[in-house]
Homo-oligomer: A and B are copies of this chain.
Amino acid sequence: MDFAPDQRTQDLTARAREFIAGHVLPAEPELEQELAAGKEFWGAPPVIHDLRARARDAGLWNLFLPGEHGAGLSQLQYAPVAELTGYSPQLAPVAMNCAAPDSGNMEILNEFGTAAQQEEWLHPLLEARIRSAFCMTEPGVASSDASQIRTRIQRDGGDWVITGRKWWSTGAMSPDARLLIVMGVTDPEAPRHRQQSMVLVPRDAPGVQIVRPLTVFGYDDRDHGGHAEIAFDEVRVPADAILQGPGEGFAIAQARLGPGRIHHCMRALGMAERALDLVRERASARSTFGRKLADQGVLREWGAEARIQIEALRLLVLKTAWLMDTVGNRAAMTEIQAIKIAVPRAVQAVLDRAIQVFGAAGVSSDVPLAALWAGSRALRLADGPDEVHLSSLGRAEFRRPPVL
Contact = CB atoms under 8 A, between A and B. Distances in A.
Interface in A371-404: 371, 373-374, 377-378, 380-382, 385-395, 397-398, 400, 402-404
Contacts of A388: 288
* Copies of the polypeptide in the assembly: 4
Nearest to A278: B402
Interface stretch (A96-104, A194-202, A308-316): A308-316
7 contacts: A142-B288, A167-B360, A215-B363, A277-B402, A307-B393, A311-B335, A356-B387
A341 to B, nearest CB: 7
Nearest to A335: B311
* Residues of A contacting B: mostly: helix
Contact of A218 (B219, B316, B355): B219
Would you list the 5 A-B pairs with minimal beta carbon distance, nearest first?
A: A218-B218, A300-B394, A297-B297, A315-B315, A218-B219
A47 interface: no
A6 interface: yes
A370 interface: yes
Interface string A252-273: 0000000000000000000001
A145 B288 contact: yes
Interface of A: 1-6, 9, 17, 20-21, 25, 76, 84, 87, 137, 139, 142-145, 167-168, 214-220, 273-274, 276-277, 280-281, 283-284, 286, 288-289, 294, 296-308, 311-313, 315-316, 318-319, 322-323, 326, 335, 338, 341-342, 355-357, 359-366, 370-371, 373-374, 377-378, 380-382, 385-395, 397-398, 400, 402-404
B284 A398 contact: yes
Nearest to A299: B394
Given A300-B391, A363-B381, A371-B218, A25 B356 contact: no
Given A143-B360, A216-B364, A319 B378 contact: no
A17 B364 contact: no
